[in-house]
A and B are shown apart, each in its own frame.
Chain A
Amino acid sequence: MAKRVVEVSSLVKQYGSLRAVDGISFELYEGEVFAFLGPNGAGKTTTVEILECIRPLTSGSAKVFGFDVTKREDVKEIKKRIGVLTQDFSALDKLSVKENIDLIGGMYEKKLDTLEVIKLLDLEDKTKEKFENLSGGLKQRVGVAAALVNDPQLVFLDEPTTGLDPKARREVWSVIENLKKLGKTVFLTTHYMEEAQVLADRIAIINKGKIAVIGSPQELISHHGGLKVLIVRKGGKKLAETLQNKYGGTTLNHGGDVFVKVDDVKEMWQALSTLTDMHIGKEIEIQTPTIEDVFLKVVGGRITEEGELK
């Protein structure tokens, strides 16, 4: 069993009448990428900032490396051991990439060589470039570099790809994958389903301050993702009727595509076998559920590009 890095129990954060975090409990284990997936206002950043020791909790407990986030002496120890990419990360505009990383590095007693970190993030040709001249993706990479400069055991990445174009987003994903290879524990918050599914070892879906479900992407999909769908492109009405009689749950769209919902792998093979025997000569596609389907099922809505719940 991997070592626990973060332990959160019955955590509550109250703002007046608003309960931003509502009694959540979870753990993070050493070396894993853990994603908090939820819409804006779900309580992701609030939780992360409590763990980063910059926001007080209302009740419950939160420990990082066994240190209590509410104790002053423990806070010093936590801050030494964590690296943070804050939401909407920014740095001093007129300073170069290296100078900005040096600035953050200068806050720690022990730190990595800045040029080493720059190399790790593939920023060597931008070392002397002023921060203000960088693209959004490069700025985020500088943020990640700054988060790694103290060689942290745990890295918080709060919405690391929000506002980035798809290319820059995939660049950041590649950086996060490398962090995992380096053995870092990563706490990622995001409202992008695909991001959580691609990067995370475990995902917690959070909404209105509560964790709806928690588990590995596969676990979540198999438990909450719903049925797999077998699609026969341009299968036609006759085939739809045949499959309906045999397996039920079959539908036909206007284009003549036939959709067959199957409960499990066994039923899937049976259906495929039937189709093979029929020599239909049509294109067959198998559609498996995604985290988006899980989210839709457990939360009852989708998240827009801007992070709003619809």
Chain B
Amino acid sequence: MIRPITIFTAVTKNWMRSRSGLFFSIMFPVLLLLVFGAIFGGVGGASKYGIFVQNLDRTADEAPTELSDAFIEALNSTETFAITTIPVDADARSYARDALGPLGGNIRILIIPEGFQDDLLNGTVKVRVGISYTTLNYSLPYLNETEKIFVEICIAQMGQYNASLPDRSASLTLILDPSDQSAAIVKSIVISIANAFNYQLIGAKNVINFTEEQVTVRQFRGIDFYIPGIIAAFIMTNGIIGVTTNTTEFKRRGIIKRLSVTPLAKIEWILGNVLSQTVLNLMLTAIIIVVGWLVFNVQAIPDIFSLLIIFLGSVMFSGIGMVLSGLVKDVEAASAIGNAIAFPMMFLSGTYWPVEFMPAFLQSFARVLPLTYFSEGLRYAMIFKYSEGIFTNMAIVSALAAAFIILGALVTRWKEK
């Protein structure tokens, strides 16, 4: 057992003193966490969609009408929009373009036309009368003769009144840029608010109600998803790229040959490297967790299952690294192959976004990637505390770790040909 520890100590010290090794293994993941966390993490206040609103529906004294003002208030209450008001006499498009300035931005304009309130009220009355008219007609078969005569008179008068109302409803103009990736979201929110207005004005009540409950104890933000994802992704790259290039470099420089003439056994060499990777990955995990806690207030305290999964992942990816370094001859090829495998796997395994967000064929592909199970298991263990998910993924990662280590030991050449 002493020999693997000696190898572990030497390889780890050598790595700890290498600036480039430290940067790519520790600093780069931390930088990525800070960037991803800041942009997509859902922290530091949610970003809002900017929208310009021009309210042309005014009273005689140029004040906004009550309903148009209520509509803008409804938009505001969603806390989704940063509203900029366009003056009544301005050309809406030019005003928005000028306001966005030379750097541009997405033009989103909502125009509330003149007569919006009148049309809304007119439309509302027409709908309400229409509903009453239809409802009374439906009730006729259930009435006695006296009631029937009275109701029929009402129906006739309602029909006449409804026919006298102008056939127009309120309309809004929403101007969106087709290249705006958020256009669909903005449009659906505005439509939702308009529908809510419709229902409110005609006095409709919700027939279907939603009760929203969180599956887990606390509410999660994007950053909660990223922290285990980044840890998993870089444990993977440390194994697939780090182990492959280091081992190939050691091989090229004759260091492995020098060790092979001593009583060191091949499996002891592999064990020493796996130990080194495990310690490196635990350090990476600790640093990411501390940064996540300090910067993003993420409390992801790893439990025994997280540590076990990190160990298994370290074994699995070191095993893959050993397999690759056994198959390639030079460092350049090792680096190229390591990158070619690691980077697609990093983005297709649900480390940075859920696998379910991807197209069906990519989801199927993700299910054959070892990182998918490792990152899922780590996420379940560190964040969601979902025991079934932890054990299933842990079992898969264990099996893969065993398979890759055995394969790695088989392809690692301890003797010359």
Question: What residues of chain A have their CB less than 8 Å away from a CB belonging to chain B?
Answer: 15, 49, 52-56, 76, 79-80, 82, 84, 86-95, 99-100, 102-104, 106-109, 130, 146, 150
- B156 in the interface (beta carbon within 8 A): no
Q: Decide: A107 near B10, CB < 8 A? Known: A54-B257, A90-B254, A90-B255.
A: no
Q: Mark B398-417, 1 if CB is under 8 A from A, else 0.
A: 00000000000000001111
- B166 in the interface (beta carbon within 8 A): no
Q: Decide: A55 near B417, CB < 8 A? Known: A93-B14, A99-B13.
A: yes
Q: Which residues of B contact A79 (CB under 8 A)?
A: 261-263
A84 near B261 with CB under 8 A, answer: yes
- B131 in the interface (beta carbon within 8 A): no
Q: Mark B10-33, 1 if CB is under 8 A from A, else 0.
A: 110111011000000000000000
Give 15 new A-B contacts, CB below 8 A, not counting A87-B254, A99-B13, A107-B264: A52-B261, A55-B416, A86-B258, A86-B261, A90-B254, A92-B10, A92-B14, A95-B10, A95-B13, A95-B17, A102-B6, A102-B10, A103-B6, A106-B2, A109-B263
Provide the bound-state CA to CA distance between A123 and B2, in Å.
26
- B106 in the interface (beta carbon within 8 A): no
Provide the bound-state CA to CA distance between A76 and B6, in Å.
19
Provide the bound-state CA to CA distance between A90 and B263, in Å.
18
Q: Which residues of B contact A76 (CB under 8 A)?
A: 263
- B3 in the interface (beta carbon within 8 A): yes
Closest to B5 in A: A106
Q: Which residues of A contact B7 (CB under 8 A)?
A: 103
Q: How far is the CB of B406 from chain A (nearest CB, A)?
A: 20
Q: Which residues of A contact B262 (CB under 8 A)?
A: 79, 104, 107-108, 150
Q: Which residues of A contact B260 (CB under 8 A)?
A: 54
B258 near A94 with CB under 8 A, answer: no
Q: Mark B283-300, 1 if CB is under 8 A from A, else 0.
A: 000000000000000000
- For chain A, what secondary structure do more than half of its interface residues adopt (helix, strand, loop), or is it mixed? loop
Provide the bound-state CA to CA distance between A52 and B263, in Å.
11
- Count of chain B residues near A, Cβ 8 A: 26
- B218 in the interface (beta carbon within 8 A): no
Question: Could you tell me which residues of chain B, from 215 to 268, have a CB within 8 Å of some CB in chain A?
Answer: 253-255, 257-264
A108 near B261 with CB under 8 A, answer: no
Q: Which residues of A contact B253 (CB under 8 A)?
A: 88, 90
A107 near B416 with CB under 8 A, answer: no
A80 near B263 with CB under 8 A, answer: yes
A-B contact pairs, 29 of them (CB 8 A): A49-B416, A52-B261, A54-B414, A55-B415, A56-B415, A79-B261, A80-B263, A86-B257, A86-B258, A87-B254, A88-B254, A89-B258, A90-B254, A91-B258, A92-B11, A92-B13, A94-B17, A94-B18, A95-B14, A95-B17, A99-B13, A102-B6, A102-B10, A103-B7, A106-B2, A107-B3, A107-B263, A107-B264, A146-B258
Q: Which residues of A contact B264 (CB under 8 A)?
A: 107
Provide the bound-state CA to CA distance between A49 and B259, in Å.
13
Which among B3, B15, B18, B255 is the interface contact of A106 at CB below 8 angstroms? B3
Q: Which residues of A contact B417 (CB under 8 A)?
A: 15, 55
Q: Decide: A103 near B261, CB < 8 A? Known: A55-B417, A89-B254, A90-B255.
A: no
Closest to A79 in B: B263
Q: How far is the CB of A154 from chain B (nearest CB, A)?
A: 12
Q: How far is the CB of A254 from chain B (nearest CB, A)?
A: 49
Provide the bound-state CA to CA distance between A139 and B92, in Å.
76
Q: Which residues of B contact A130 (CB under 8 A)?
A: 17
A91 near B255 with CB under 8 A, answer: yes
Closest to B414 in A: A54
B261 near A54 with CB under 8 A, answer: yes
B263 near A108 with CB under 8 A, answer: yes
Closest to A76 in B: B263
B416 near A54 with CB under 8 A, answer: yes
Closest to B19 in A: A94
Q: How far is the CB of A92 from chain B (nearest CB, A)?
A: 4
Q: Which residues of B contact A92 (CB under 8 A)?
A: 10-11, 13-14, 255
Q: Which residues of A contact B415 (CB under 8 A)?
A: 54-56
B13 near A94 with CB under 8 A, answer: yes
Closest to A107 in B: B262
Q: Which residues of B contact A95 (CB under 8 A)?
A: 10, 13-14, 17
Provide the bound-state CA to CA distance between A99 and B258, in Å.
15
Q: Which residues of B contact A52 (CB under 8 A)?
A: 261
A86 near B254 with CB under 8 A, answer: yes
Closest 3 interchain pairs by CB?
A106-B6, A107-B262, A94-B17
Provide the bound-state CA to CA distance between A89 and B15, in Å.
20
Closest to A94 in B: B17
Q: Which residues of A contact B261 (CB under 8 A)?
A: 52-54, 79, 82, 84, 86
Question: Could you tell me which residues of chain B, from 362 to 417, have a CB within 8 Å of some CB in chain A?
Answer: 414-417
Provide the bound-state CA to CA distance between A172 and B261, in Å.
21
Provide the bound-state CA to CA distance between A151 and B20, in Å.
37
Q: Which residues of B contact A106 (CB under 8 A)?
A: 2-3, 6, 10
Closest to A56 in B: B415
Q: Which residues of B contact A99 (CB under 8 A)?
A: 10, 13
Provide the bound-state CA to CA distance between A82 and B258, in Å.
12
Q: How far is the CB of A297 from chain B (nearest CB, A)?
A: 33
Provide the bound-state CA to CA distance between A150 and B262, in Å.
9
Provide the bound-state CA to CA distance between A186 and B262, in Å.
17
Provide the bound-state CA to CA distance between A269 and B10, in Å.
64
Provide the bound-state CA to CA distance between A87 and B257, in Å.
10
Q: Which residues of A contact B254 (CB under 8 A)?
A: 86-90
Q: Which residues of A contact B257 (CB under 8 A)?
A: 54, 86
Q: How far is the CB of A51 from chain B (nearest CB, A)?
A: 10
Q: How far is the CB of A160 from chain B (nearest CB, A)?
A: 13
Q: Which residues of A contact B17 (CB under 8 A)?
A: 94-95, 130
Q: Decide: A84 near B258, CB < 8 A? Known: A106-B3, A106-B6, A107-B3.
A: yes
